[in-house]
Amino acid sequence: MDKAVVLRGITKRFPGIVANDGITLEIEKGEVHAIVGENGAGKSTLMKILAGIYQPDEGEIYIFGKRERITSPGRAIELKIGMVHQHFMLVNRFTVLENIILGAEKRAGMVIDEQKCRKVIGELLSLYNFSLDPDARVEEISVGQAQRVEILKVLYRGADILVLDEPTAVLAPQEVKELFANLRRLKEEGKTIIFISHKLDEVLEIADRITVLRRGRVVGTVVPSRVTKEELARMMVGKPVFMKLEKTPVPAGDVLLSVKDLVVRENTGKPAVNGVSLEIRGGEIYGIAGIEGNGQKELAEAIIGLRKTSSGQVTICGRTATGLSIREIRDLGVAFIPEDRHRQGLVLPMKVWENMILGYHRKKEFLKKPSLNLKTAREFTEKRVKEYSVRLSSIDQSIDGLSGGNQQKVILGRELSRDPRVIIASQPTRGLDVGAAEFVHEELLKKREEGKAILLISADLEEVLSLSDRVGVMYNGRITAEFRPEEVTPEDVGVYMLGGGVKAGEGA
Amino acid sequence: MFLSELLASSLRMAVPILLTALGAVFTERAGVVNIGLEGMMIVGSFWGALGSYYYGPYFGLLLAMAAGMFLALIHAVNTVTFRVDQIVSGVAINILAYGSCRFLSQAIFKMATTSPHVAGLPKIDIPVLAGIEFLKPLVSGVSPIIILALLLVPLTRFVINRTVFGLRLRSVGENPLAADTLGINVFRMKYAGVLLSGMLAGLSGAYLALEHTGMYVEGMTQGQGFIALAAMIFGNWEPAGALWAALLFGFSEALSFRVVEGGAIPYQFIKMIPYVLTLAVLAGVVRKSTPPAADGIPYERGMK
């Protein structure tokens, strides 16, 4: 029988890097084939080639035995390849039905034949045992459901090969289980699934075969039953990886950050944070777990003063911080690692050294009135660059030329080197590869040992559980549960991430 | 009699705002802000008068719509193809419209600011209803464009909500990247939305020249293109909403005419009413309405 996908010698170059370097890969019909690798290993590039978004510079692609050129996303669909993007490509204001049919409407002349669309979607829902309300608006459904809409979109278009790009990154553990059940059902119906991930446990659970990429090349293809997680990690990174973080007990200090009954409203007036109270002591990491969009971002922004609070109180090192300006709050000794380093943490076109003193440029040591003291600013930057081993060609290069990991190191250097007492770290390892993430984790643990109070907000449950001393789960603007990480499993926390033990709202 | 006359006058005042606001719905639902609508109304009024002067009112209407679409095409090329800032392009179009009409008016009519009197469309008496004395001002001697404008409200609504074109148009204004990945030609949809807005604004300008005054007068649009944008926003980007908002603005204008005759309040203050209302609407109501998610943002392939 013909293989679903065969890639031979696929090479794709971008200015400065070879993203895919002679990749050869065979995917059987009806298998779940996982592709794993670190960030920058070339997974996404490879998938975009399959989806018709990029054209390879060299190499051949065979789909169901026939040599093909996938010249556009439309061509990919004609070849029955369907892409489920990591970042959902959905129109939030549209209903589930509208999103599914968009671009492939069943029609009667110029008018949409809604009955026919409804019938086709209903049949798909029952065939694959998906639970979804076609008339719900996408902005009102859960992340797991939105993902099902994405999968249905490609099934509705008749895809036989489904490419899922990091599908579990945004899901709670229970939702992952449901996704896997859906995928197994798809496999039973003869669909071929390509599953891209860097979460090794999940890959070992769902995949029939696993191909590991590293720096644009195939390291090998393995069968899950004959490989351990450690071996996989080693293939991925190229050297042994320590999966466990060392955490030493630290005596608890004074309460440095206290939040009481905090209410923060969205721009629309709806409360995003709805009565959150928490206390963090020196030498403690308080982790906030939760599916994104449940008020975590607003909480962090309210504490640092970026967002107005409606009611409630924030106390930092014993001083009331509510109503203070961002500068005043920072001067109380608060460091902020924002979740979106491109929009909040850095000014991308500016130089590395400029970014390194950003926000602290008013400090005495950087001033030689009426101008900046370039000498001390540069010395300070050089020192931090060494200390945090930031890889760059010059501190005068603009920061957008640095990799994500190195950009994050600049932020850490700036924020953590001024002896803050409270650290707000929002998604601190997002988009970083394993090595850089490990570095960030070690830094945070170091600060914990130095007696800082750390608020860690992360969508990565594993990260929250391994770093934190206490974990609060945020759902719908409230902290609905609090645990010590050693007392719970990820599944226990997941229940609360989805709204507290009740799966009724999910309808599945 | 006073009441029905006031209502009839409100309706007449509302029609140009309504037509342009319906155009604004098309362009903004496709994600392109078009403040050049004012300019498209201006060229509509001039070319409408010019067409009617030489070849009669129907040709005037066609010419007005074509002129509006021509300016819309410029706006689309600027903003969709070259991703020029949509506000800047709109302002440029308004200036271009004003200047070109003044120039052409001088060249053709030998008068910079007005045209000679031109013919309008034949007026219609609505059967049966026109017999009722109370309704007479509303239903007799009605311009066909008023009826067309009112019919366009449900039609626009149907097109936007029920047709393949409408669904794709809306998707482009909400999430162009998603639409693009589904094989929808984002640029073509945006062009369509902008061109439709130009056509309707041109028609609206022709209504002013042919049906309202019977001639082209410089500045006759009086900022109604902007008021139409406010009406569209007030109506929450929906055709029916735009109708009610246009009627409200039309009513305030009609009222300002009537009150002037009373003379208790200085004339200048009364003339401010529609504009003050526009400001109040934009400041007060707009916060509660929700524009299309990608409204005003140029789309570029390969954008993250």
Q: Are A288 and A455 in contact (CB under 8 A)?
A: yes
* Rounded average pLDDT over B187-192: 97
Residue A396 DSSP symbol = T
User: For a pLDDT cut of 90, what percent of chain A falls above it?
Assistant: 57
The H helix count followed by the E strand count for chain A is: 16, 24
- The candidate with the shortest Cα–Cα distance to A132, out of A143, A145, A119, is A145
B184 vs A101: CB contact, 8 Å cut-off?
no
Task: Give the C-alpha separation, B215 to A308, whole Å.
Answer: 55
B167 vs A101: CB contact, 8 Å cut-off?
yes
- pLDDT of res. B303: 42
* Rounded average pLDDT over A7-29: 90
- pLDDT of res. A389: 84
Tokens of B143: 């311009």
- pLDDT of res. A504: 35
Tokens of A298: 């607003």
- pLDDT of res. A468: 94
- B165 to chain A: nearest residue by CA? A110
B87 lies in some domain = yes
Beta bridge partners of A257: A280, A316
Rg over CA atoms, chain B: 19
- pLDDT of res. A1: 61
Q: Residue B264: pLDDT above 80? A: no
Written as one letter, the residue type at B12 is R
Q: Residue A481: pLDDT above 80? A: yes
Task: Give the C-alpha separation, B283 to B287, whole Å.
Answer: 7
* Rounded average pLDDT over A440-464: 92
Query: Mutate which of B155, B162, B165, B181 to test chain A, going by most A C-beta atoms within 10 A?
Result: B181
Output the CA angle B111-B117-B119, nearest 5 degrees: 140
B162 vs A111: CB contact, 8 Å cut-off?
yes
Q: Are A88 and A147 in contact (CB under 8 A)?
A: yes
Q: Tens digits of per-residue pLDDT, A488-504?
A: 888 888 888 888 654 33
- pLDDT of res. A506: 36
- pLDDT of res. A243: 58
User: For a pLDDT cut of 70, what percent of chain A falls above it?
Assistant: 97
B180 lies in some domain = yes
Name the residue facing A105 among B167, B178, B293 (closest C-beta): B167
Residue A232 DSSP symbol = H
Written as one letter, the residue type at A17 is I
Residues of B with CB under 8 A from a CB of A: 162-165, 167-168, 170-171, 174-175, 177-184, 290, 292-293
* B chain contacts of residue A101, beta-carbon cutoff 8 Å: 167
Task: Give the C-alpha separation, A58 to B63, whole Å.
Answer: 54
Name the residue facing B171 among A73, A102, A111 (closest C-beta): A102
For chain B, the average pLDDT equals 91
Tokens of A223: 């069968």
- Sign of the CA dihedral running B192, B195, B201, B206: negative
Task: Give the C-alpha separation, A404 to A3, whole Å.
Answer: 37
- pLDDT of res. A505: 37
Q: Residue A40: pLDDT above 80? A: no
Q: Are B221 and B205 in contact (CB under 8 A)?
A: yes
- The candidate with the shortest Cα–Cα distance to A87, out of A34, A9, A146, is A146
- pLDDT of res. B287: 62
Distance from CA of A89 to the nearest CA of B (A): 5
A105 vs B292: CB contact, 8 Å cut-off?
no
B178 vs A90: CB contact, 8 Å cut-off?
yes
Q: Residue A183: pLDDT above 90? A: yes
E strand map for A28-160? 32-36, 58-63, 66-68, 81-84, 107-108, 111-112
B181 vs A89: CB contact, 8 Å cut-off?
yes
Q: Tens digits of per-residue pLDDT, A66-83?
A: 999 999 888 898 999 998
- pLDDT of res. A56: 94
* B chain contacts of residue A73, beta-carbon cutoff 8 Å: 180-183
A94 vs B170: CB contact, 8 Å cut-off?
yes
Count of CB atoms situated within 10 Å of the CB of B268: 7
B241 lies in some domain = no
DSSP reduced 3-state for A20: strand
By the 10 Å C-beta count (0-12 exposed, 13-18 middle, 19+ buried), A292 is classed as middle
Distance from CA of A50 to the nearest CA of B (A): 13
- pLDDT of res. B139: 81
Beta bridge partners of A84: A164
B167 vs A74: CB contact, 8 Å cut-off?
no
Name the residue facing A92 among B164, B165, B293 (closest C-beta): B293
Task: Give the C-alpha separation, B70 to B73, whole Å.
Answer: 5
Query: Mutate which of A44, A79, A102 to test chain B, going by most B C-beta atoms within 10 A?
Result: A102
- pLDDT of res. B169: 97
Q: Concatenated DSSP letters for A156-176?
A: HTT-SEEEEESTTTT--HHHH
Domain ranges of chain A: 3-237, 254-333+420-498, 349-418
A104 vs B182: CB contact, 8 Å cut-off?
yes
- pLDDT of res. B37: 97
Name the residue facing A73 among B168, B171, B183 (closest C-beta): B183
Q: Tens digits of per-residue pLDDT, A361-389?
A: 888 888 888 888 999 999 999 999 998 88
B6 lies in some domain = no
- The kind and range of the H/E element at A272 are strand A271-281
- pLDDT of res. B262: 61
Count of CB atoms situated within 10 Å of the CB of A66: 9
Q: How confident is the model at residue A244 (pLDDT cuts 50, 70, 90)?
A: low
Q: Residue B289: pLDDT above 80? A: no
ipTM summary value: 0.88
- The candidate with the shortest Cα–Cα distance to A481, out of A290, A323, A264, is A290
**CATH number for region A254-333+420-498:** 3.40.50.300
**Residue B290 or A115, more confident:** A115
Q: Please name the residues in contact with A475: beta carbons below 8 A apart, sequence gap of 6 or more.
A: A290, A291, A294, A496, A497, A498, A499, A500
* Paired sense of beta strands A209-214 and A32-36, if any: parallel
Q: Residue B240: pLDDT above 60? A: yes
Q: Concatenated DSSP letters for B58-90?
A: HHHHHHHHHHHHHHHHHHHIIIIIS---HHHHH
Beta bridge partners of A177: none
Range list of H helices, A159-225: 173-188, 200-206
- Distances in whole angstroms, Cα of residue A158 to Cα of each of A28, A80, A91, A137: 19, 6, 21, 23
A73 vs B181: CB contact, 8 Å cut-off?
yes
B293 lies in some domain = no
Domain count, chain B: 1
CATH (one of 3.40.1010.10, 3.30.450.40, 3.40.50.300, 3.90.228.20) for A3-237: 3.40.50.300
Residue A23 DSSP symbol = E
- pLDDT of res. B140: 81
Q: Are B111 and B95 in contact (CB under 8 A)?
A: no
Q: Please indicate whether the domains covering A3-237 and A254-333+420-498 agree at the CATH topology level.
A: yes
Tokens of B213: 């005054």
Q: Tens digits of per-residue pLDDT, A322-368?
A: 889 999 999 999 999 998 888 888 998 899 999 999 888 888 888 88
Written as one letter, the residue type at B283 is A
B183 vs A91: CB contact, 8 Å cut-off?
no
Backbone angles phi, psi at A113, to 5 degrees: -85, 90
Distance from CA of B262 to the nearest CA of A (A): 43
* B chain contacts of residue A72, beta-carbon cutoff 8 Å: 183
Distance from CA of B208 to the nearest CA of A (A): 33
A89 vs B177: CB contact, 8 Å cut-off?
yes
Q: Residue B128: pLDDT above 80? A: no
B266 lies in some domain = no
Residue A370: cis peptide before it, omega within 30 degrees of 0:
yes
- pLDDT of res. A245: 67
Residue range of the domain that includes B62: 17-121+140-225
- The candidate with the shortest Cα–Cα distance to A39, out of A168, A204, A231, A198, is A198
Residues of A with CB under 8 A from a CB of B: 72-74, 77, 83, 85, 89-94, 98, 101-105, 107, 110-112, 153
Q: Residue B245: pLDDT above 70? A: yes
Name the residue facing B164 among A72, A90, A110 (closest C-beta): A110
Distance from CA of A272 to the nearest CA of B (A): 17
Written as one letter, the residue type at A425 is A
Q: Concatenated DSSP letters for A426-466?
A: ESTTTT--HHHHHHHHHHHHHHHHTT-EEEEE-S-HHHHHH
